Structure formats: C-alpha cells, structure tokens
Chains A and B, each alone.
Chain A
Amino acid sequence: MSETKKKAAKAVKPAKAAPATAAAKTAKTAESAKAAKAVSATVAAEAAPAVEAAATAPAAPIASTSSRSSVRKTYKLYIGGAFPRSESGRSYAVTASTGEFIANAAQASRKDARDAVRAARAAQPGWAKATAYNRGQILYRIAEMLEERRDQFAQQIAGVEGITTDAAYAQVDATVDRWVWYAGWSDKLAQVLSAANPVAGPYWNISSPEPTGVVALLAPATPTLLGLTSVIAPAIVGGNAVVAVAPDASALPAVTLGEVMATSDLPGGVVNILTGGTAELAPWLASHLDVNALDLAGVPAGSDLARDLEIAAAENLKRVVRPTAGQDWTTDPGLSRMKPFLETKTVWHPIGI
C-alpha cells in the first residue's frame, strides 16, 4: 500500500510541501481494500517462514502506470478513540530516508496534548477497573490485528526508516511478539509484585500493585513501531492510560497502530497518540499537573532537554523513566517499564473474633 503511495508520490514529486489533501478519504477506505489481502497474508505468514513470505510478496508497483489514481491516506492524531486532525491545522511532510515525500502527518499542538491528557484521564479508571483477564485479552487482540496488517506495517516502516523489507518485517514480528508478551503479564503482575507481609501483630496485611494513572510517553524515533509499542504496552498493561508522542517519521506507523487499537476493543482514550515534534510537545506534558508519570525514552540521554523535562516533572512529583543511551529495543525488557508506572498499596486490617 505505501509502496504504491511512494510511486504515486514520485510522479508528483515537485509538490513536496503540498498540504494534506482534503480529497483524501478516511483511513477506512484504504483499510477495506487491505482487508481482502489480509487472509492470504496471514495464511502465508503461518505456513511459511515470515521473512521469506515477505521477500517474495512485494506490493505490485503498478500504480503509476494504471489509469486509476490511488486514494491516499490522511494521517491524523488518535485521541479519545477518534482520529482528529490537529486543532492547530498544522501538518508536516514525512519523507523517506531518500528524501522523497511520503505523506503529510498531523503536527500536534499544546492543545492537542491537553485534549489527549483529558481523554486519558477520563478513560483510565474504567481501564484500571477492567479485569486483568480482560486487559490481557485486549492486548492480545492488538497483537492479532497487528499481525493481520504485517504487510502494511512492513512497507510503511521500510519506507520511513529506510531499512530493508526483511528488516521491516522482522520489526513487525518483534512488535507482535512484544504485544503478546505483555498481554500475558496483565494477570501475573499482581502475583509477581504483591506481598503478604508477616507483620508482628494481629493484623492481616497485603501489598499489591496499582496503576499510577496517566502516563506521558515520548517514544523513540526508531525503531518506529517496536519503539512505540515498547513504551505503550508496559504502561497500559497494568491499568494506566497513556498519551504517547510519536516523533517525526514514526508518525505513519504510529497512526496505523492507532487504527489497530481502535479496532481491538481497547476503550477509547486508554491510548492516545500525538504525532509531531517531541521537543515541542514534551514540555507541556512534563509540566501537566494531571499527568502522573513520564517516560523520556525518545529524548537523548544526558541532553539538556531530558534534564529540563525532569525538572518540569518534579512540580507534581511525576514518576520519571530516564532515557538510556544506546537503548536496544529488541532485548527482553523485563519489568523495567512496567514497575515504574505501578504504585504499591498496602492494606491493613486487624485480625480478631
């Protein structure tokens, strides 16, 4: 799909800075076209090694020679389960690593960030109250929906990251696996992190984890899809709601991930995705008093920005996950991104008759 888009874009290359075309239909049109392909893609993926399937099934490069112009997709934000444009009316051009225009992405504003926080706050209690079994099912459902769109994601990732199709497929597969991994954590976190405490007295006393609330995530620029998943999944599995900033070119897979979530029974507002500049949006999220925690993954470790954001976050004592230099997103993340967004509550009660 994005391959055809790229070809089409080539044809109109001079119009590089063209604004998001109003003529473009909503994502749904593009999706339904995709759906037909999906079954065979899934079957292929299961039957044969994934990478081979990918390498032998390139998208047909026929768009530019066909008499039909493709319907291009307008990339929007994902807030409260809906896909609005930025209230600021701004967009920015996403280009391939080779410099060619791929699409315009919505450039989120401070107001969009505040709207996203409000949506997250509204959704969080319900999400936290859902049973762990239910949350796990929904995370697994995200993996299912993602798997179905392997080709779409791989092509998008290859386009924006400038990596080989094989590498892009490998990233999609790692992403799917990561959602599955986190899905399995939902009903185990409490068991692994809880404690029945043998206090010296006639009291029943137990400590268990609870979500901290609304978490703002600054996703790394690359790997686009795996990086975004690696910050969102651990935050929501424990019952938090998130506002994630997907910077620069990662906007395209990020918005498509939003579409996956919108069709995965994830309640609207649990995940909100803003596209645009981390440096522009991050200060508003770091200083927002209704945000409980901040993940600085997408900010350079040791940078002034990282320090300034941490200072802003101190105002309401947000839990902060600092950036790690040279973070390898392909390795087992352990509990490192789940625990910082969980509080420990200890409940006491006397024992007697």
Chain B
Amino acid sequence: MFEYAPAPESRSVVDLKPSYGLFIDGEFTEGSGGAFKSVNPATEEVLAEVAMADAADVDRAVAAARRAYDQVWSKMPGAERAKYIFRIARIIQERARELAVLESLDNGKPIRESRDVDIPLAAAHFFYYAGWADKLGYANLGPNPQPLGVAGQVIPWNFPLLMLAWKVAPALACGNTVVLKPAETTPLTALLFAEICQQADLPPGVVNIVTGAGATGAAVVSHPGVDKVAFTGSTEVGRMIAKQVAGTSKKVTLELGGKAANLVFDDAPLEQAIEGIVDGIFFNQGHVCCAGSRLLVQESVAEEVVDRLRERMKTLRVGDPLDKNTDIGAINSAEQLARIRTLTEAGEAEGAKRWSPPCELPERGFFFAPTIFTGVSQAHRIAREEIFGPVLSVLTFRTPAEAVEKANNTAYGLSAGVWTDKGSRILWLAQRMRAGVVWANTFNRFDPTSPFGGYKESGYGREGGRHGLEAYLDV
C-alpha cells in the first residue's frame, strides 16, 4: 500500500471542559454520585471528568421531565414543538464540525465516518421528526395519538450522537419529554447536545441528560415516573430491562444485538460485493449491531471472494481516528478490546483459520487489526456470538435454500444482506430472511424515513420512519 501523508483534522474546534455535570431542568448541575473519566480510546488520554448520576439525581431529572411534560411540552401545539426540533436540527448542522471531532475523540471512530455519517444523519433525524410533530394524526397509527409522558432512554457507545437523535427526535415530536443516559465511555456529545438544547431555547426539563454507568441506566429504566423505556444495546442488558419492566405499564422498545448474514451468490457483481462486505463489517470498527459479521459465500466463488477480500483489506488504513485517511479507528474501550480478543482466540481454538492484513497498530490506544476467519462452522462461537469488532467469519453454501437455512440459524434477527444480479432471487431471499432490515446489493444504509429494528432476540419495536412514532404514542 502506498503511503498517504497524514491529514489530521484539527481538534481546536472543540472546547473541552475539564469536568461536566448533569443536564437537568435546562441547567448543568452537580451530580451526587461522584465522577468518572471519559477517555480517548485512540490515545488513552483522559478527555474530561463527568458526573455520575445516582438514584437521587435520576429522581430530579424525572421530576423535571414530568413538570415540563405536564406544564409545557405536551400542551404545546405540535406546530410549535416542531419549530424547536427544527432549530435543533439546524444547530447540529451549524456545529457539525465540532460534533464530529468530539465524537471521534470520545468514541475512536474515524473522522471520515463521524463527519460524513453520524452527524449528518443525526441532523436528518431531527429534521424528519420535526415535521411529524404537527401531523401525528396523519401517521395512520390511530385516530387520536397522544404522547406517553416521560421517556427514559439508554443508548450505547457505538453511535453516541446518532443514537441520541434516534431516541430524542421522535420522543419530542410526539410530545414526550426525555431523560437520556448516554454510555459511560461516550458521554461528551450528549453533553454538547445539552448545550444545543440551551441554544435552541428548548423549555427547561424537556430534555434531561444523566451520565453514568449501568446503575444509572437501571435507575432510569426502573423509575416509577418513567412511562416509556427505550434502549439500544446488548441483548443481555435488553433481557434484564424486559424483566425489570415486567408487570408495569411502561411501554418498551429494545434495539439489541445482531449476527447478520451477508449472502454472496456466484452471479453477484463481485467488485460491489467486496465493497459491501468491507462496509458491512469494518464500518465503525465493526461496532455496529447490524454489522454483516457472517459472510455466506456460494461455494463456487468462495475462493475468489476471499482472495479479493484479502486484497481489499490490505488497503484499509488503521490508526488515528482524527486522520482523514483513516478507515478503521480505535476500539471504544479496553474492555471491548478484551472481549474481541477473547472471541477471536476462541475462533482459533475451535479450528477456524484467522487472517489479518499486515498492518502496524499504534502503540498506545485500543486497536485491533481487521480480521477474517475462514473454515468457520455454524457451531463456532465466532459464528454465533456477537463480536462487535472488525472480525468477519466466512462460511459457504451451495443452494439458495441452504443459504436461507444458515442465514436464519441464529437467535438474532436484526439485519441481512444479499448480493446477486437476479431480481427474482433477491425478492425470494428478502421474503425468507428473518431480519428487520434486508439490504440487497448494498449494506449498512440508514435513513430517518426508514424503519429499523429486529426480529427474535434482536429486540422489539422499530425506530425511524412512520413506524418509529408508534413507540412514543398511545394509539
């Protein structure tokens, strides 16, 4: 691979404070549960200290959200609510550079992705849902849609601002108020979003942000004042939440793990398929719940596909997330890196063949080279468990029926990919995939107008589109 000169994005656009408080009732306040540090995973540098919200803080946040709901937000005409949400969308666009840099600093994702995917999509979600605020009666969900009340939202670290947008935008459009807990490793863009709410003059209490770890999230989910719970994260935690809310009247949506199959047929346009495979698993370091982590290739082209894939992988640049040339940034945390290592070691131990392109990883920070496993069987852990890293398992199939059988042989059902030139086969497969999103001849596409969510143990409910409104309405 020929060398590129480094092209680092300047971080001067971000004004990091040494410490951040909680955002409750329109103001930043101290937390009473101590503090934790948010680390740049690419350098292990401490970026800031962030307040840890305890149960009392969550209490305050829910109370503020309830007041704002009762007194202001649920009473406000939809057309007025819309204008605040449009304002937020605009401010995200105006401060896009700052948000992208901060996202890459805190999360470790390449600036190319935070700049071109995360931030624009986050703004697009606010734009899309802003327009729904005064048109809920036209959403075809029921004759008299009403908001639910206070939404408790817990989001993951893989797309910090985008997941916030997926949750906050529809909640506000429908007239709910929110208490949101960002992930403990990536709280910073959510706190910058709090400033954006202030700039937009959003009434105090409509959006509250409580930072912390698992205990804070549990306090939000189980708080009796919370009417709706929305969670994106692991299936394990999703299961705990489903148990926590059992017997209550809380409405719940869960976006959980995945182990998507990406099917390549012998008539597929291979150049495009290779790009799709790379995008499917190496986008965002593979920290994507809908990542195409199981590649199923028709036997007759398996060798060629794997050879081409190896060639393509040799051109992936791993390293500094702030470098505009970087394709694969840092793994989000030491803990996640350890998990990826454990699972890849299990892959080797169980007999699969591991390969990574020659690449030098930075000495500091959490990095993992893009990796593929061949000779994988359906029983291997690397074919069954979500790795959530840049690790692809390659399996083969002979007939379309076998492809469907293997693709659906998982407890998950979030996404699937199909690569073939034959339209009728695409439709045949799309019908048979037990997955909430099927990408045919493309992969990892997202859009605010487009419902996203899982079958089976990938969770329930949909986010995005007209369907995404339902989670926040009593219909």
Interface residues of A (CB under 8 A from B): 192, 195, 197-201, 203, 205, 207, 212, 292, 302, 304, 306-308, 310-311, 313-317, 319, 322, 334-335, 343-350
Contact = CB atoms under 8 A, between A and B. Distances in A.
A310 B445 CA distance: 34
B238 A317 contact: yes
A285 B190 CA distance: 41
B430 interface: yes
Contact of B411 (A304, A316, A319, A322): A316
B147 interface: no
Given A334-B142, A344-B453, A201 B438 contact: no
Given A201-B445, A212-B455, A306 B247 contact: yes
Interface string B203-239: 0000000000000000000000000000000010011
Contact of B451 (A198, A207, A307, A335): A207
Contacts of A306: 247
A344 B438 contact: no
B438 A197 contact: no
A319 B411 CA distance: 15
Nearest to A314: B242
29 contacts: A195-B466, A195-B467, A197-B450, A197-B451, A198-B449, A199-B447, A200-B449, A201-B445, A203-B442, A205-B450, A207-B465, A308-B246, A310-B242, A310-B243, A311-B247, A315-B239, A317-B242, A317-B457, A317-B459, A317-B460, A322-B249, A343-B436, A345-B433, A345-B436, A345-B438, A346-B450, A347-B430, A348-B438, A348-B450
Nearest to A200: B447
B235 to A, nearest CB: 7
Interface residues of B, number: 41
B208 to A, nearest CB: 27
Interface of B: 124, 140, 142, 235, 238-239, 242-243, 246-247, 249, 254, 256, 411, 426, 430, 433, 435-442, 445, 447, 449-453, 455-457, 459-460, 462, 465-467
B442 A317 contact: no
A342 to B, nearest CB: 11
Nearest to B240: A314
Contacts of B242: 310, 313-314, 317
Contacts, number: 106
Given A346-B451, A349-B426, A195 B438 contact: no
Contacts of B450: 197, 199, 205, 207, 346, 348
A346 B455 contact: no
Top-9 shortest CB links A-B: A307-B247, A314-B242, A310-B246, A199-B447, A197-B449, A197-B450, A349-B440, A311-B246, A314-B243
Contact of B440 (A197, A198, A316, A348): A348
A195 B430 CA distance: 16
Most buried by B among A311, A316, A322, A347: A347
Contacts of A311: 243, 246-247
A314 B440 contact: no
Contacts of A207: 450-451, 465, 467
Contacts of A316: 411, 456-457
Contacts of A347: 430, 437-438, 440
A307 B247 CA distance: 4
Given A207-B450, A343-B455, 18 more contacts: A192-B140, A198-B449, A302-B247, A304-B247, A306-B247, A307-B246, A310-B243, A310-B246, A311-B246, A313-B242, A314-B243, A317-B457, A317-B459, A322-B249, A344-B453, A345-B435, A345-B436, A348-B437
Contacts of A302: 247
Contact of A317 (B256, B435, B466): B256
Contacts of A346: 436-438, 450-452
Contacts of B246: 307-308, 310-311, 314
B170 to A, nearest CB: 15
